Chains A and B, each alone.
Chain A
């Protein structure tokens, strides 16, 4: 349904001051800008969907500027709140608004408020609010919990949410939805505007913007369509295409040429490792020393800002980036986007492609570079999907209970609340519309005393219901602790990376030698865990040697080795989307389409046809074969890595019970391979194993529960929920390293205890909900199992099939999941014993080492 067209009489639509300002620049107001204005005048919430470069932001602000320009004195309080997911965007928008406001001489005060805003200004903003406040969801949540919230928000007329498509499906979106509901309660006249990129289901965002109790069930939709279709090509190469891997090294010379031919190029990689590799390879062949920069989430913030500034000033020829640059300030000069390896989803491809060329009437240009033979298919599929205008479906997730807990405490910090009113307010938001009263009450109890069956904490309650029926915070220190904990982004525990040499004392202590060198970024703790001093790894475009860990910094030096010893540094790996996966299956299933694939890929598929069979669109292919003394089961569900990992975990348990003695599995975006000691082909032939049973949906019952409860994934998820919900304070978590000692709190221990005593506790429910919706892709596994029921095609083979090669090459690159930790401990102990027992080089019969002498 399209929005009602605005009045065609654009002359009367704009006040004179605005009309002449537009005219003075040779501009005419665009129809979507006028449409939004018309909705604003009628006090209707509205969603604007537009590609980048369409003047979206000005459209969002125009109604506010006009309202503020006539008939309202400045100093009458906060009028418009603009919320963006990025601090940088808030700052940029402030700058862009200042110009028209100054040129038209409008009496409007615009201020930004982010984590970087000095305390003095923040305080002043509360006492003398600007007319427009540009901020982030976290800052808004903090204002909601301020005792002055009611006074601050009562004057608000408009809330503009930028990049709504990116915010809505996240916990930050949940937090913002709750904040909006609060603002509506305090300022009943408020109208919302959402700004979004093209999405698959606009209705979800339209619902997100409204409070259905106030009338319209959906916000009005204003959509800018049209514009030139993007020009997306899949890179073709004469070089040998690798069988597996994601480096794209073979194409580097040609990419370099493309960079040279274009004005400015943005290169996107799926992981930080890949970004690092691409950057390094480009510089290896950068004979013209073109200014090529690197940008990813682990690099030092200062470093990233410098790169962004250089880009804004047009001083760079290219940036290699990860999803860190998916959102952000528009750079006008980009004329080419290169996608290193498969973009995995059509929406992502379209949005990234849209970062090239911000003129609507010219096509944006993008090249996808497949990294391996199989990926060609995926890249073709992604291109098809993008050109067809397919958007990937975002799974609609119910709002997080941990976020709700944080919000409830925040509300109490701001103003005492009535639980019935708050419940009505919470369920008016889209994420929490299906929340039941019992769960809501559980969350309140959780906030108050932890919500345990054993009521031993009543006297320590954080919020209490007073005789007037309202909930209030027990004392000011509760609000203080809450303020320290606001936000839903949990950073992975990370360590700073510093260039510098270290000195080892005779006693074995390690100290920095002299003053530490320059700080080059941060790296996730779990990555460092797997390294030993002396190991080399790639970071910030260089191969570095890990020297030592001192306090919370790892010291590194430059290494001159050719290849890093520790190759994997996975950061932000996205699974293949359902839409692209379906198109991959369609291309496979239709040999007439193979003509557009490179010869190498075609040959390979031909071999598969000959030796086994090409996976059918309707059926699930399962191949079993022996290899190197083990027996393999390889299947091709095309459901994405996360879903395959879950499936692998569950099927391994089943195979164990069927005495197939599985040893491990590996999952890719397309396939799942399980190997073990039992001859699966023979077992199936002898009716000892049924594939229909192996893939039966009932694996999602007890097996799932049992596996999930023990998995480290669940513990990590629980930790995040515990922090967001305020069970554990952030500062406590981080305290260990600051003091260099002790012994704070491991949420794993809390998880174990809680699970044993209260498996149905609200926080465990929150963690389960997160894990099911996110990391294990449970819904996708469930749909898949339903679909393949009775549709399994089994091929027992005498050797590995061509199609299985890419997945088998992944074996050994991934950690084995669910392996009994005791087995690993035993293995470590035994390996070390063997090592210790062997004669030392150059000696004979040296005695056993110290610890064994005590035996």
Chain B
């Protein structure tokens, strides 16, 4: 009962713990580590809209502004000392060059007064030109290892993105599919943060072997809270 009450008490922004490090999970899909003041997010996929437009699918050109706006609200809430983007920050190599002036300005404003680290991903293996910040292939945060793609096999303390986890449950006859943090207590895979980033079900084979058997919990993102659903209740797509 106590645990249940605890879960309810901090259900809005629950704390996930990996390797003894407490991380606050925000419903927008980011982690905040209070002692270092680091805000961690994954898979921004900036300029995905224009990337599709290049090939004739004219998606609304507002995804970058939406994603950066969402990020700006998080920055307002936590005032992080450092923002760490776990790769695939741009949808393709040409993305940084296609930023509108307004979006570029918004990005610069967000970077002012804090460190900014672009971890490279498969969509953006090179540092984003003219976008400030530092670039790294991966980095350590205390005992945590931050990188884009989760490493196969058990990796205690790994914080990664790349897979765009979503979870699906069925409640009262209707299915709910939401982005989620996927964790077994040893590692966390972050949900994609980008406005146009799709999702991959955590039951997909791509997640196979990443989590200790039976230990997976999906922290599903609601509008106002993050909700823990045990692995057994999760449905495939």
Contacts and interface: CB of A to CB of B under 8 A. Distances in A.
Nearest to B63: A753
Interface in B158-200: 164, 168-176, 178, 183-185, 192, 195-200
Most buried by A among B58, B169, B225: B58
Contact of A530 (B6, B65, B174): B174
Contacts of B231: 851
A758 B208 contact: no
B198 A753 contact: no
B61 interface: yes
B172 A743 contact: no
Contact of B56 (A462, A532, A853): A462
Interface in B88-108: 98, 100
Interface string A739-776: 01111111001101110111001000000000000000
B176 A460 contact: no
A826 B215 contact: no
Interface residues of A, number: 68
Nearest to A409: B56
Nearest to A850: B215
Given A526-B175, A532-B235, A745 B185 contact: no
Interface stretch (B75-83, B149-157, B216-224): B216-224
B1 interface: yes
A744 B16 CA distance: 29
Contacts, number: 197
A848 B3 contact: yes
A658 B6 CA distance: 34
A837 interface: yes
B174 A509 contact: no
B33 interface: no
Contacts of A754: 60, 62
B230 A741 contact: no
Contacts of B18: 854
Contacts of A753: 60, 62-63, 66, 195-196
B236 interface: yes
Interface residues of B, number: 73
Contacts of B196: 745, 749-750, 753
A452 B60 contact: yes
Interface in A507-529: 507-509, 526, 529
Interface stretch (A128-136, A667-675, A817-825): A817-825
B8 A529 contact: no
A816 B222 CA distance: 18
A743 B200 contact: yes
B115 interface: no
B7 to A, nearest CB: 6
Nearest to A712: B174
A822 B197 contact: no
A316 to B, nearest CB: 36
A832 B229 contact: yes
A826 B77 CA distance: 24
B198 A746 contact: yes
B235 A529 contact: yes
A785 B215 CA distance: 54
Most buried by A among B50, B60, B98, B233: B60
Contacts of A727: 57-59
A286 interface: no
A822 B223 contact: yes
Interface string B128-143: 0000000000000000
B59 A450 contact: yes
Contacts of A825: 169, 171, 176, 178, 220, 222, 225, 227, 229
A478 B229 contact: no
Interface string A818-850: 000110111111101110110000000000111
Contacts of B220: 825
B3 A532 contact: no
Contact of B229 (A752, A756, A821, A828): A828
Contacts of B126: none
Contacts of A530: 170, 173-175
A742 B65 CA distance: 24
A508 B212 CA distance: 11
B24 interface: no
Given A478-B56, A530-B174, A834 B62 contact: no
B100 A477 contact: no
Given A743-B199, A837-B3, A449 B58 contact: yes
B176 A757 contact: no
A780 to B, nearest CB: 26
A744 B198 contact: yes
A815 B7 contact: no
A119 interface: no
A457 B53 contact: yes
B103 to A, nearest CB: 10
Given A740-B204, A822-B225, A828-B233, A834 B57 contact: no
Contacts of B183: 851, 854
A69 to B, nearest CB: 47
A743 B7 contact: no
B124 to A, nearest CB: 15
A750 to B, nearest CB: 6
Contacts of B112: none
A357 to B, nearest CB: 43
A670 to B, nearest CB: 23
Given A824-B174, A836-B230, A851-B215, A743 B65 contact: no
A646 B3 CA distance: 41
A451 B60 CA distance: 9
A452 B196 CA distance: 17
Interface of B: 1, 3-4, 6-8, 11, 15-18, 50, 52-54, 56-63, 65-66, 98, 100, 164, 168-176, 178, 183-185, 192, 195-200, 204-206, 208-209, 212-217, 220, 222-225, 227-231, 233, 235-237
13 contacts: A460-B58, A741-B206, A743-B199, A744-B198, A757-B60, A758-B60, A816-B172, A825-B171, A828-B169, A828-B229, A851-B231, A855-B3, A855-B7
Given A757-B65, A855-B7, 7 more contacts: A456-B100, A529-B168, A728-B57, A828-B233, A837-B3, A850-B184, A850-B215
